[in-house]
């Protein structure tokens, strides 16, 4: 018999939300491990910024924040670390001095290619036994979740 009084109790074992959180944590852990094994001194978060700068020639803090769903503060700090590591360069805009544009360096480009292999490997590990058809559904649903949550947070 189901509980009539408390219908809105969440059972973690059956919660999609909770399993997304757990999976994210575990996938990141796998990614970290593979990066470490390959002696690549970069974090998954730094990687996503480096990735976008390898795809799009020049981006500002705000643009990176929008692409990565992170806030300015975090982007600011991560780009600073990437800059210190020599993976990206920062150029002040000459007309509007508030804006900085970031560019990937050659060192950065080399690293991106290596990290791609690690990202690919970690995806394969995580997605074993999951059919392409299911992967499609998951991807579609996760994109829907991003829309839903984004709308709510607006």
Partner DNA sequence: AAAACTTATTTGTCATGACAAGTAATTTCA
Partner DNA sequence: TGAAATTACTTGTCATGACAAATAAGTTTT
Question: Closest CB to its own copies among 94 and 151?
Answer: 151
Spatial neighbors of 47 by CB under 8 A, at least 6 apart, are: 115, 119
Question: Closest CB to its own copies among 76 and 114?
Answer: 114
- For residues 60 and 102, is the Cβ–Cβ distance under 8 A? yes
Binding of its own copies by 127 (CB under 8 A): yes
Binding of its own copies by 44 (CB under 8 A): yes
Q: Which of 33, 80, 91, 92 binds its own copies (CB under 8 A)?
A: 33
Size of the site for DNA (CB under 7 A): 31
Contact positions with DNA (CB under 7 A) in 15-44: 25, 28-29, 32-33, 36, 43
Binding of DNA by 122 (CB under 7 A): no
Binding of its own copies by 36 (CB under 8 A): no
Q: How far is CA 6 from CA 1, 2, 11, 68, in A?
A: 12, 9, 12, 38
The string of DSSP letters for 82-109 reads HHHTTSEEEEE-SS-TT-EEEEE-HHHH
Where does this chain bind its own copies (CB under 8 A)?
6, 8-10, 12, 14-31, 33, 44, 48, 51-52, 69-70, 113, 116-117, 119-120, 122-123, 125-130, 134-135, 137-146, 148-150, 152-153
């Amino acid at each position: 018999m189901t509980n009539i009084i408390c219908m809105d109790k969440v059972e973690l074992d059956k919660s999609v939300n909770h399993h997304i959180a757990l999976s994210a944590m575990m996938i990141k852990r796998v990614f970290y491990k593979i990066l470490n094994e390959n002696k690549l001194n970069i974090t998954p978060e730094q990687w996503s910024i480096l990735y976008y700068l390898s795809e799009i020639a020049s981006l500002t803090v705000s643009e990176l924040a929008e692409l990565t769903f992170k806030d300015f503060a975090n982007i600011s700090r991560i780009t600073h670390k990437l800059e210190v590591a020599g993976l990206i360069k920062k150029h002040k805009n000459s007309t509007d001095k508030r804006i900085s544009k970031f560019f990937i360096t050659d060192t950065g480009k080399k690293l991106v290619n290596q990290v791609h292999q690690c990202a690919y490997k970690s995806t394969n590990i995580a997605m074993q036994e999951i059919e392409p058809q299911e992967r499609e559904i998951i991807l579609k649903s996760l994109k829907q979740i991003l829309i839903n949550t984004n709308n709510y947070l607006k």
